[in-house]
Structure 1
Amino acid sequence: MKEDNGRIVRLLPIAAGSIAGTLLMLNRVLTPALTDSQARSDAVGVVLTAVLILTGLLWQQVQPRKPDSTVLEGTEGFELLPTLPDALKTELAWASHLLLTNTVTRSIVVYYRGQVLLRRGILAPIATVTPGAILDRVLAKQKAIYLVDTKVYPGRIEFNYLPVNTQGIICQPLGTDGVMILGANAPRSYTKQDEAWIEGIADKLANSLATRSAIDGNLINPNDKI
């Protein structure tokens, strides 16, 4: 509703300028004898009309309409690997809550050392992560990959553990051993600030996971499942 109201406000100068220009033209056509004062008034009116229309056009460019969001297909859920230490469970819960409540993220999967540690948000029926070309590249290059609009990426088929109609995906590395996968409900919806914030949270999680692994040895049991 707020977005619709903003669009209407941005269109008002164009509408007002168009109406004013039409009225000026009709007034000029219907006036049998044009006086000097009326000519000056018409000139001022034309200038004001042009300013209104130009302002409306600029507003359309400066404040573009946000991409339409989609209701993701899946069930709301929150799953943690049960054998994780309580401290890690708390940190994963905290990080995922921040991302779900402060960004367009609607689905989160944390994959580390061959296991899914967390799934939260809108969940797909498939819970197992099988790394494909994109995740392999993230782990190898240690650099995030952002699929701004999944419809134009054939590689999206490897993300079958996210809702089928996920619109945007960020794969953020967790050190050299894992990836945090975020699914959004609208294309081109993550800002540069969002990406920087996601990277910071991922770095914090990666450090905690690596530290706990060093203390506990084999942190993840390959037989453990969510």
Structure 2
Amino acid sequence: MEAGRILQIGIPWITWRSPPRLPNFPRYICASSIQRGSYKGPKPGRDWIADWVSKNDDAVRSMPIYVGGASLLAVLFNRAISGIAPVADASSSQSRADLLTLGLAVTNVLTGLVWLSIRPKSITPVEPQGVECQEIYSLLPESVVSEILWVWESLSAVTCCKSLVIVYDCQCIVQIGVAAKSLNIDEPFAVDAAKLMQGSLYQGVLKSGAQSYMANLSLYPGRSELPFLPSNTQ
């Protein structure tokens, strides 16, 4: 009778070997070894049609007129040489086709006239009519004031921004740049933060949660809500 078993587990011996040495690569790359123009990645595409249209805007807008006029002449010429009576006959398929072609030709001519009448308005830069001001809330920390001044200098240097107004927590903390003149001579028009926040402009931005871009301020209904901006602000 076998009382028990003894398990013998063989543990293999592992022989450690030193890793092979890697070749010594240079730790720096000379700038002269990089060839210019060696970039082989994807190149940005270019829309040739859009470029041609932007360069020939007048010709593109007039093209429907030329197409419509040529279509009218072609229909009249075909009507003259086909031997059909000049009076339209509803029972004739040729007359119905000519009427349809005439309608399309007239539509092209009218489309060209509309395209020529509607053009993007070019805005000419103007000098703001107002007074220079730099009103900053006195309780702001110096670090915040320096950041605001840096932002204003950056905006005025790289963009056409002429006025900057910041309203925070029902308080106008910054009014800098060109401002409208108040009733007192050579004094800027003060910003009424409470009245501004009750206007439709602020309420609309608050509800939508997105910025409001006003392409033409003179036609905007809420122009009266921004009396502190120069009178000729575009």
* TM-score for the superposition, normalised by structure 2: 0.40
More strand by share: 1
Q: Which has the higher helix share?
A: 1
Q: Please, what TM-score do these two structures have when normalized by structure 1?
A: 0.41
Of structures 1 and 2, the one with the larger relative CO (CA 8 A, separation 6+) is 1
